[in-house]
Structure 1
Amino acid sequence: PLHFGRSLTYRFAASAAVALGAVTGHTPLTPGASRRIASGSLRHFLDRGALTDDGLLGGGWYGPHEASLQGYSGPASPYWASKAFVALLAPAGHAFWTAREEPAPVEESDRVLALPAPGLLVQATRADGIVRLHNHGSDHVRPHEGETAAEDDPHYGRQAYSTRTGPTAPGNVADNHLSVETGGRSSVRRRIHPLGAGHGDGWGWAASWHRPVFAGGPPMVPGLRVESVTVARGRHELRVHRVVGAPEGSRLTHTGWATGPEEPLTSALYGLHGWDDPSPIPVRAPQGTAWTRWAHVPRLTGRCAGTSVHVVLASLTADADAAPLSEAVEEVRVDDGTVEVAWAGGTARTRITFEPVEVRHTER
């Protein structure tokens, strides 16, 4: 299950859509794949301590986790998880029950899928079963609302989410976040404006722009905006940011995935262009995530003023023998707002342009 959005304490209620599709016949999945997803979601939480000693669902994700709750969450909120049992509307002889469970799509092959309407990019790797969601369009700001840093929501504002990590808690270093620092204040991302998304064979992209929002003074700097593009290929995430209208003396920070010290995961970040040092510094998040009591987050820093382009390569993997990110790219060219990346082995090139945003990727 993916740790993204509101009402996460409902846990396996997310599988209700899959079950209802199977019951009504409105689904692209086979009955066996549908049951694999529904039963797998239920087992995922039950096998990881979601039930209390009294056999009840408590507030949180696996066990208790306050940062996973919303202000409206109450003692009975976790029981919205019962929506998953819409599958029980299927009679005993229904194929949902009689068909043999089949692998879910992510268990069969690597997948990259762009969803242009919500501005999302899904990236899945079969080897470790991790699914990553790159967010370039779904926020928690209503159309009539203004943007304030006080309403920053870690479950919507981060650049990426996954099935093996959760966002860090408010007050801790933010994971998967680009922050503009000016006048002693750091920005958050609130309203997200999609700029497009697409995918090809084994790769995909999504893009958006936002106005950095600051606390403790004027919420915005006139003319300041950030345009962001994510390109997913295999386990690699190419993240490109174009900062426009930054005051002199401004700085940037960029973070990667938050992982715990005992988790069999590697969170890597490598600066390709526009950073003080290509190697990140690990920063501790003492309140951790829904997966771990405390976490490390890799962080890059750099300067920005006026218009500047910053390129990062990120990765989250359970492969202990994964090659370092410094070996994944052979060449990076940044010229007048155009970014061109030659991937290792000479097999692929990615070209990103702004005004308007266009992404081209070729495999040889």
Structure 2
Amino acid sequence: MCITRVTAGGNRRLAPPFPAFPGAGGREEPAPVERADQVLALPAPGLLLQATRGDGIVRLHHHGSDHVRPYEGETAAEDDPHYGRQAYSTRTGPTAPGNVADNHLSVEVGGRRSVRRRIRPLGAGDGDGWGWAASWHRPVFAGGPPMVPGLRVESVTVARGVYELRVHRVTGAPAGARVTHTGWATGPEEELVSALHGLYGWDPAVETVRAPQGTARTRWAHLPRLTGRAGGTTVHVCLAVLTTAPGPGPSARAVTGVEADGSGVAAVWADGPRTRVMFDPVRVTLAGHRG
């Protein structure tokens, strides 16, 4: 865009609309994510951003923002797919109400499955090429008493490269309770890979479930789901992946070992670093990482 200036002699000439500034008209610089993977923690709202150079996907791990007012009670009827999920991305959408919820940990008690309503942040941080965010919530149920006394879920996400290490501690669960956890919802026509690998506290099999009403991105979707036992205090660890790279095989070997108890989790990555997640209080470290 230019504007026309009339000089004192009546001559017309084209001039830029703004004064010159350093870098104007220079070579376009690549965005940070075009150079390398990026991870950014936002502790105040309880969010973690994870962007990967290879596929251009930006993921938002959600550990703090909801629209439950301080004076409001928590009811399952007000569950909102745009607030309740634990992760969102620029290439996927949340599944519709009434379908299996994507990126969600649910506690099942007496045949009723829980939703996540009020989210309490527990912290967030980042380092060179990795980051974490954590929160806790009280599972809310429909069709009966909305809560189970003493039942609580603490959740931690650790982002590194395309990988999401998801750690959950369930406390106060009654005997016979079960937990399920889902990954990213993708459509059959999309060039996306959604994988979910149980590392600790899950049954061996990963099932694929359908969301027949789809998402904003696809007419119908499918998503991976893990299932495990709960009761008292249990810890559940899995690795989630959303990418455009073909095949889920390499992601299954990204973490080579996991040790866990009621106080924390240690996970060893295939390339050497070791992630440590502690619960009381929540603290996350990554040792041996070279960026």
TM-score (norm 2): 0.89
Instruction: Determine which structure has the larger strand proportion and give its number.
Output: 2
SS in 1 for 2:83: helix
Amino acid at match of 1:294: W
1:350 is matched with which residue? 275
CA drift at 1:249: 0.4
- Where structure 1 has 5 or more consecutive residues not aligned to the other structure, the ranges are 1-90
1:362 is matched with which residue? 287
SS in 2 for 1:230: strand
Between the aligned partners of 2:173 and 2:219, the Cα distance in structure 1 is: 36
Match of 1:220 among 147, 152, 167: 147
- Where structure 2 has 5 or more consecutive residues not aligned to the other structure, the ranges are 1-15
SS in 2 for 1:106: helix
2:226 is matched with which residue? 300
CA drift at 1:98: 6.0
| Alignment of structure 1 residues 18-57 onto 2, 5 Å | none
Match of 1:183 among 110, 117, 124: 110
Amino acid at match of 1:331: G
| Residues 176 and 256 in structure 1, CA contact (< 8 A), matched pair in contact too | yes
SS in 2 for 1:249: coil
| Alignment of structure 1 residues 193-232 onto 2, 5 Å | 193-232=120-159
1:332 is matched with which residue? 258
CA drift at 1:319: 1.1
SS in 2 for 1:324: helix
Amino acid at match of 2:287: T
CA drift at 1:335: 2.8
CA drift at 1:109: 1.7
SS in 1 for 2:252: helix
SS in 2 for 1:117: coil
1:128 is matched with which residue? 55
- CA pair 344-145 structure 1, distance change in 2 beyond 3 A: same
Percent of matched pairs sharing the same residue: 74
TM-score (norm 1): 0.72
Match of 1:233 among 160, 176, 189: 160
1:23 is matched with which residue? none
Matched, 1:257 2:184: yes
| Alignment of structure 1 residues 273-284 onto 2, 5 Å | 273-277=200-204, 279-284=205-210
Between the aligned partners of 2:234 and 2:188, the Cα distance in structure 1 is: 35
Between the aligned partners of 2:17 and 2:177, the Cα distance in structure 1 is: 64
Aligned length: 272
Matched, 1:110 2:40: no
- CA pair 265-247 structure 1, distance change in 2 beyond 3 A: same
| Residues 236 and 314 in structure 1, CA contact (< 8 A), matched pair in contact too | yes
Between the aligned partners of 1:190 and 1:322, the Cα distance in structure 2 is: 31
2:86 is matched with which residue? 159
Answer with 1 or 2: which has the greater Rg: 2
CA drift at 1:143: 1.3
Between the aligned partners of 2:159 and 2:288, the Cα distance in structure 1 is: 13
| Residues 140 and 153 in structure 1, CA contact (< 8 A), matched pair in contact too | no
